[in-house]
Amino acid sequence: MIPAPANAQFKRSATELAKDNIRDYVTQKLFKNLSYKAISFGELTTNAGGGGTFSSLIKHKFTITQIESHESMRVPVQREYLFVFYFNDKMKVQMAENLISSENKTPTDFAERPKK
């Protein structure tokens, strides 16, 4: 049995690693070369129903800023997203699922399925 203080430290470290991996995943895979800003992170939870594919998951709300053309003017447009990120036991992102976006996208518009 792991003592409570050691378990709490482990969970904090895992959560920080998850946040770093999410930032990298969002900026390098989902929204390349776009401005990303974290808004909030949910709690890192064990994925009891995920079988052997996913060991944990976390919800994350963020904004992406894109430059769009409107009536011959280029303007920055900020959109808010809420994703769930699924991790393997090494805290590597295995899948990302879009729950809500300000563009009214469907939940799987930006989901990347695990590689087999």
User: What digits encode the pLDDT tens for the residues 28-54?
Assistant: 999 998 999 999 999 999 877 656 788
Question: Positive or negative, the Cα torsion across 93, 82, 41, 33?
Answer: positive
Whether 111 has a pLDDT exceeding 50, the answer reads: no
Phi, psi dihedrals of residue 87, rounded to the nearest 5°: -120, 150
Phi–psi pair at 21, nearest 5 degrees: -65, -35
Distance CA 62, CA 52 (A): 28
Q: What is the pLDDT of residue 109?
A: 43
Is 106 domain-assigned?
A: no
What is the CA 22 to chain-centroid distance, rounded? 5
In which residue are the tokens 């518009």 written? 109
Domain-located, residue 114: no
In a domain, 109, yes or no: no
Alpha-carbon distance of 71 to 69, in angstroms, equals: 7
Query: Which pLDDT score is estimated for 12?
Result: 85
- pTM of the predicted structure, to 2 decimals: 0.77
In a domain, 40, yes or no: yes
Residue 108 is assigned to a structural domain of this protein: no
Question: Residue 49 is encoded by which pair of tokens?
Answer: 């129903």
Q: Which domain holds residue 96?
A: 4-101
Residue 50 lies in a domain: yes
Question: What is the C-alpha separation between 44 and 22, in angstroms, rounded?
Answer: 12
Res 116 pLDDT > 70: no
Q: Are 45 and 57 in contact (CB under 8 A)?
A: yes
Amino acid at 76: P
Q: How many domains does the chain have?
A: 1
Q: Are 80 and 61 in contact (CB under 8 A)?
A: yes
